[in-house]
């Protein structure tokens, strides 16, 4: 994890020339994931929301569908479609 500007150069050295992306750290109780596909005609279809469990920044378990309310699942799907 890169926590300050000084830790950026050593992290880049370890990761070398791999494609990278950055995420802002956020406190959370569950990590939810949803896969959305867009057909050639523009229609978006989403798979059921899943819960991912990580250990040491590695995904170890996936529960699908996630044990969350239908309201939460719909919010996740709608947010994902907009992205």
pLDDT at 71: 93
- Binned at pLDDT 50, 70 and 90, residue 61 comes out as very high
CA dist list (Å): 10 to 19, 20, 76:
16, 14, 35
Start-end of H helices in 1-83: 8-15, 70-82
- Binned at pLDDT 50, 70 and 90, residue 60 comes out as very high
Using CA atoms, how far apart are residues 5 and 34, in angstroms rounded to an integer? 32
Closest CA to 74 of 52, 49, 37, 43: 49
pLDDT at 67: 92
Of residues 1 and 5, more confidently modeled: 5
The reported pTM is 0.64
Report the first-to-last Cα separation within the chain, whole angstroms.
25
Is the model's pLDDT at 1 over the cut of 80?
Answer: no
Complete domains list, the chain, with CATH: 5-82 (3.30.470.20)
């Amino acid at each position: 994890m890169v926590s300050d500007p000084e830790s950026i150069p050593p992290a880049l050295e370890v990761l070398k020339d791999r494609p990278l992306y950055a995420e802002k750290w956020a406190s959370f109780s569950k990590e939810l994931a949803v896969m959305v596909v867009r057909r050639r005609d523009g229609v978006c279809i989403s798979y059921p929301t899943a819960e991912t469990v990580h250990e040491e920044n590695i995904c170890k378990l996936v529960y699908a569908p996630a044990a969350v309310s239908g309201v939460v699942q719909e919010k996740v799907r709608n947010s994902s479609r907009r992205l």
